[in-house]
Structure 1
Amino acid sequence: MSTTASLASRKPRTYFHVHLVSDSTGETLNTVLKSVSSRFDAAKPLEHVSSLVRSKKQLNQVLARIESSPGLVMFTIVDPELRRHLEVKCAELQVPAISVLDPLLNAFADYLGLEQTLRTGAQYTLDEDYFRRIGALDYTLAHDDGQMVWDLETADVVLVGVSRTSKTPTCMYLANRGYKAANIPLVPTQEHPKELETLKHPLVVGLTAAPDRLAQIRGTRLKNISAPDHAGTYSDQDEIRKEIIKAKRLFARKGWPVINVTNRSVEETAAEIISRLSAKRAGK
């Protein structure tokens, strides 16, 4: 029977159980699940997370949960014996068990001609990259929302934009990737910091968004914090349009790249920034 015919004859699932089994933190599995499940809007995963599974006793407890709530099993387990035990038991329970990293690991091993490092949590080694990311997070927190403008030259990236254009969450995402990111809010009643005029080392990026979307976000923000808009300008669409026009003039005068975040996730915005930063460093 073809895959298409098989799918057609099977009743679609609205909700389904997914067991994430890891001998480390489980972050890799969580990321993969989110990426894959986003392709199936009609079905929602019911996640069962089992992290730091490093003994047969722990694994048997996990298997008991899988038996009581059968569903997909996604795993990252280094120990061959534990891995084999999980695969055998899942086969007996007739539930699919997927080692999500196998295709990549096998491809790397074939290409590099090297054996894999069988070490649990190898990606979390306290190496230079780890401390670089911690340093980036410290820097980004200290330089959030226009703080320490005198120290912007040491940033990798500086984001500039009007209120609620996702500057802070984008900076935090970049910091988690090891980039020192600062952000400067453009306030309609104030001039931008003079330090922005002379920056040479960082990539400066202007963030903008559609006025109607910003008005909606700002209005919701005011309601959530129970704050009145006394001047009536913060969430007014016409006033926001003026803010954006002023910001775009600054971006154009300085020749900064501009990203419209209206229909972008933080991850998508950060990906474009990283791509631009790589090009800048390569002299392109």
Structure 2
Amino acid sequence: MIKDYDIYIISDSVGDTAEQVARAAAEQYKDADYEIKKHPYVESKAKIDDIFESIPNKESLVVYTIVSEETTKYLKKICNEKGLPCIDIMGPCLSTFSDFIGQEPARESGVIRKLDEDYFKRVEAVEFAVKYDDGKDPRGILKADIVLIGVSRSSKTPLSMYLAHKNYKVVNIPLVKGAKVPEQVYEAPRKKVIGLTIDPSDLIEIRRERIRVLGLDSGVDYVSIDKIIEELDYAEKIMRQVGCPVIDMTKKAVEEAANLIIDIINDLN
């Protein structure tokens, strides 16, 4: 019975999957000690040769996740020549998927790593949207992918969050009559700035509901139709000065508006 052995993890990506599977299996054998030796980003025969030259005359086995057929065949050949047992983690899985889907795999290495990168970009974008929500810090304007401007309750924040989940860094700036518009709004590239407008009658209903939820006085200027029209006129003036595209949010779902914004941004790039 083997008491001490090495597990060689060979992967064309990070190798975490192969390591986790190998470790889970190895832990089932309590009387045998093992050491993991991981070799990530192995994508050539030369690298495989280097790895096997370093393997001592000690009991060892190889666990690998490699999607290239050519590299996999070479690795199996070397293992057979050296009498080393090897375990292909990806091969049987890809074969079953291919039979099920009726399509050959792309055999692209590092796919999970790319998915992880997308995930962290999305988290970064969400954190960015929260940090610069509602004009908290105008310094974010020049760092943003998209800058939304509009009056209160024109869906700036919901749009910011939705777009953040699409990996866009978004700043939203409220346009309030009597309050200075941050200079960065005028300095930002026109292709990044999107104005949001909305029908006054719809906006007053949205604001009334907001007032009701907050338990505030329904007689405030915030829900005055005259004041709302003044605000919208002021916002429209600012948008003309900025020279940005304007989207009418009346009866428009956030998803629909977000897709329009993405189309505008892509068309202008």
Compute the TM-score of the two structures, normalised by the length of structure 2: 0.58
State the SS of the aligned residue for 1:234. helix
Identity of aligned residues (%): 35
Paired letter, 1:264: K
- Match of residue 260, structure 1, among 219, 237, 248: 248
| In the alignment, structure 1 residue 269 sits paired with structure 2 residue 257 | yes
1:187-244 deviation digits (Å, cap 9, x = unpaired): 22312122212112861000010001111110111011101156x3110112101110
Q: 1:190 corresponds to which residue?
A: 179
Compute the displacement of 1:123 (Å).
7.8
1:208–1:260 CA contact under 8 A, matched in 2: yes
2:247–2:257 CA contact under 8 A, matched in 1: yes
Q: 1:171 corresponds to which residue?
A: 160
> Aligned partners of 1:124, 1:238: CA distance in 2, in Å?
54
Paired letter, 2:237: R
2:185–2:242 CA contact under 8 A, matched in 1: no
Paired letter, 1:277: I
Compute the displacement of 1:115 (Å).
2.4
| In the alignment, structure 1 residue 280 sits paired with structure 2 residue 264 | no
Paired letter, 1:155: A
2:94–2:105 CA contact under 8 A, matched in 1: no
> Aligned partners of 1:228, 1:280: CA distance in 2, in Å?
44
Provide closer, same or farther for how the CA distance between residues 130 and 226 of structure 1 changes in structure 2, counting only shifts above 3 A: same
Provide closer, same or farther for how the CA distance between residues 247 and 223 of structure 1 changes in structure 2, counting only shifts above 3 A: same
> Aligned partners of 2:148, 2:112: CA distance in 1, in Å?
29
User: Mind listing any 5+ residue stretches in structure 1 that lack a counterpart?
Assistant: 1-77, 82-101
| In the alignment, structure 1 residue 218 sits paired with structure 2 residue 207 | yes
| Runs (4+) off by over 4 Å | 78-81, 122-126
Q: 2:119 corresponds to which residue?
A: 130
- Match of residue 233, structure 1, among 221, 242, 252: 221
2:134–2:173 CA contact under 8 A, matched in 1: yes
Compute the displacement of 1:255 (Å).
1.0
1:128-170 deviation digits (Å, cap 9, x = unpaired): 2222111111111111010120231110000000000000000
State the SS of the aligned residue for 2:120. helix
> Aligned partners of 2:112, 2:150: CA distance in 1, in Å?
35
1:51-108 deviation digits (Å, cap 9, x = unpaired): xxxxxxxxxxxxxxxxxxxxxxxxxxx9999xxxxxxxxxxxxxxxxxxxx9xx76xx
> Aligned partners of 1:177, 1:123: CA distance in 2, in Å?
18
Aligned residues: 175
Paired letter, 2:209: T
2:149–2:172 CA contact under 8 A, matched in 1: yes
Structure with larger Rg: 2
Q: 2:235 corresponds to which residue?
A: 247
Paired letter, 1:160: I
> Aligned partners of 2:166, 2:251: CA distance in 1, in Å?
22
Q: 2:14 corresponds to which residue?
A: none
State the SS of the aligned residue for 2:148. strand
CA RMSD of aligned residues (A): 2.9
User: Which range is displaced more, 246-255 or 185-194?
Assistant: 185-194
